[in-house]
Amino acid sequence: MKKFRVLFLISLVIHAPVSGQQKNDGYVIAGNIYGYADSTRIYVDEISGASNGHLDSALIIHNKFRLTGSIKEDAIQVILRISNTSDFKFFWLENSAIDFAAEKGNLAGARITGSKTQDEYNQLDAAIKTSGKEMEQDSLFILAHPNSVLSVSLLRINCFTWGKQITTQLYIGLSEKIRYSASGREILEFIRLNKNIKTGDKYADFEQPDEEGRMTRLSGVRAKAILLEFWGSWSKTCREENLQLVNIYNEFKDRGFEIFAVAADKRKEDWLRAIKEDGLIWTNVTDLNGDRNKAGLIYGVSHFPSSFLIDRTGTIVARDLTGDALRNKLQEMLK
């Protein structure tokens, strides 16, 4: 019965319509910051959503500033920062009158009123600090606040960790408006694509453009052992892992070992530069969707680098092997 209910919920989600709403009223941030000299510039920049970037700036005069504008969503996460300093504050901006009070060097401890979403975030943060159980408090918050922008943001962040079943159940519980927001549609894409792949399962096939723009399928690789590697040119850890993989590839390529690397990049020039600099001579593909790469959604990739080792029968035999652990497994597979 439980399995039938989960399948029913997933069916509802997969066939859900896609729509959206926009909010056009403006916001006014009236600020008091003590300690900065007159004409110090303060900025507010978007850090969430699809249009990351600068929103507005103002000069602090007699400890006061005023920032105005409008956002299309009900709420977005922004950073308010002082020019050329490390003094900043993350908070949730809404189209409303918002009061912001802080002191020089402690914007992080600012007192903010007028944003319902920020109030919700403060309550959640307090619950997490009290219980010490972040994931549990996140899920409880989502269940209790089906119409909150914060709920859909939390679910978008945690969906890879929670997996398809829990994500689907929490998604269904959100209000219709929240489900069809920009973040809600990203969660829906995860639910539609994710295969909940585990060690012992058969691999899931997909295709993406290679360096020359040719559509290239994972199933097109013929080898006794294939490492499906998810990485990003922006990740220092990934780049360090590439150096190890080059040595391992050269050691085992003549024995039937291949690598199929999927990049979580958005800028093709960054991706191509990293391939050249790191000497990656195996198959490289990407859809340039960053960490929302569709292959990554299929495989539920929550961290980079991340890898799946596939044997000659198409079975996933291990995950995230590196260094000597990968060498030892390949020695076993390629006897």
243 occurs within a structural domain:
yes
In a domain, 137, yes or no: yes
Instruction: Look at residue 30 and tell me if it is in a domain.
Output: yes
Q: Angle of helix 134-144 relative to helix 149-172, nearest 10 degrees?
A: 80
Between CA 318 and CA 287 the distance in angstroms is: 25
Mean pLDDT across the chain: 92
**Do 41 and 9 fall into the same domain?**
no
- pLDDT for residue 9: 53
pLDDT value of residue 278: 98
Residue 33 lies in a domain: yes
270 with 291, same domain?
yes
Q: Could you report the per-residue pLDDT of 194-220, keeping only the tens digit for each?
A: 999 999 999 999 999 999 999 999 999
Cα-Cα end-to-end distance for the chain: 45
Residues 263 and 127 grouped into a single domain: no
The Cα 216–Cα 208 span in angstroms is: 6
- Residue 25 has a pLDDT of 77
Please state whether beta strands 257-263 and 283-285 pair in parallel, antiparallel, or not at all (unpaired): parallel
Q: Nearest-CA neighbor of 145 among 127, 164, 160?
A: 127
Tokens of 152: 């859909």
Tell me whether residue 201 is in a domain.
no
Closest to 298 measured CA to CA, from 160, 135, 93, 140: 160
Query: 198 in a domain, yes or no?
Result: no
* Other beta carbons within 10 Å of 167: 24
200, part of any domain: no
pLDDT category at 20 given cuts 50, 70, 90 is very low
User: What element of type H or E holds 13?
Assistant: helix 2-14
12 and 38 part of one domain: no
SS3 38: coil
Is the residue at 199 inside a domain? no
18 band by pLDDT with thresholds 50, 70 and 90:
very low
Instruction: Kindly report the CATH number assigned to the domain that includes residue 292.
Output: 3.40.30.10
For 93, residues 6+ apart whose C-beta sits below 8 A from its C-beta are: 27, 29, 44, 71, 75, 76, 77, 78, 115
Query: Do 153 and 237 lie in a common domain?
Result: no
Whole-number pLDDT of residue 4: 45
pLDDT, residue 206, reads 98
Letter string b/e over residues 135-163, b meaning 16 or more CB atoms within 10 A of that residue's CB: eebbbebbeebbebbbbbbbbbebbbebb
Q: Are residues 172 and 266 in the same domain?
A: no
Domain end call among 64, 85, 112: 112
Q: Clarify whether residues 65 and 159 are in a common domain.
A: no
CA distance 115 to 54: 20
How many beta carbons lie within 10 A of that of residue 21, not counting itself?
12
Instruction: Look at residue 83 in the predicted model and tell me its pLDDT.
Output: 87
Phi (first) and psi of residue 270, to 5 degrees: -65, -40
Residue 13 pLDDT > 60: no
Range 7-23 average pLDDT: 50
CA distance 107 to 47: 17
**Domain stops at, among 50, 85, 112:** 112
Q: Quick one: 144 and 84 in the same domain?
A: no
Pairing type for strands 316-319 and 306-311 reads antiparallel
CATH code where residue 43 lies: 2.60.40.10
What is the percent of the chain where pLDDT is above 70? 91
Range of the domain at 180: 2-20+121-193
Query: What's residue 23's pLDDT?
Result: 45
User: What confidence tens digit (pLDDT) does each residue in 104-160 have?
Assistant: 999 999 999 999 999 999 999 999 999 999 999 999 999 999 999 999 999 999 999
Q: In this model, does residue 11 exceed pLDDT 60?
A: no
Domain count, the chain: 3
Single-letter code of the amino acid located at 114: G
- The three-state secondary structure class of 55 is strand
| Same domain assignment for residues 155 and 179 | yes
DSSP codes, 77-144: EEEEEETTSS-EEEEEEESSEEEEEEETT-GGG-EEES-HHHHHHHHHHHHHHHH--HHHHHHHHHHH
- What percent of the chain is modeled with pLDDT above 90? 88
In angstroms, the CA 162 to CA 171 distance is 12
Q: What CA dihedral angle connects 242, 248, 253 and 257, to 10 degrees?
A: -80
Q: Single out the residue in 60, 83, 112 at which a domain terminates.
A: 112
SS3 235: coil
Q: What's the whole-number mean pLDDT along residues 35-52?
A: 82
In this structure, the answer to whether residues 56 and 106 fall within a common structural domain is: yes
* 34 in the same domain as 9: no
pLDDT of residue 29: 97
Tell me which H or E stretch contains 33.
strand 26-34
**Same domain, yes or no: 216 and 323:** yes
Give yes or no for residue 49 having a pLDDT over 50: no
Q: pLDDT tens digits, residue range 249-299?
A: 999 999 999 999 999 999 999 999 999 999 999 999 999 999 999 999 999
Q: What is the rounded distance in angstroms from the CA atom of residue 145 to the CA atom of residue 175?
A: 9
pLDDT exceeds cutoff 60 at 1: no
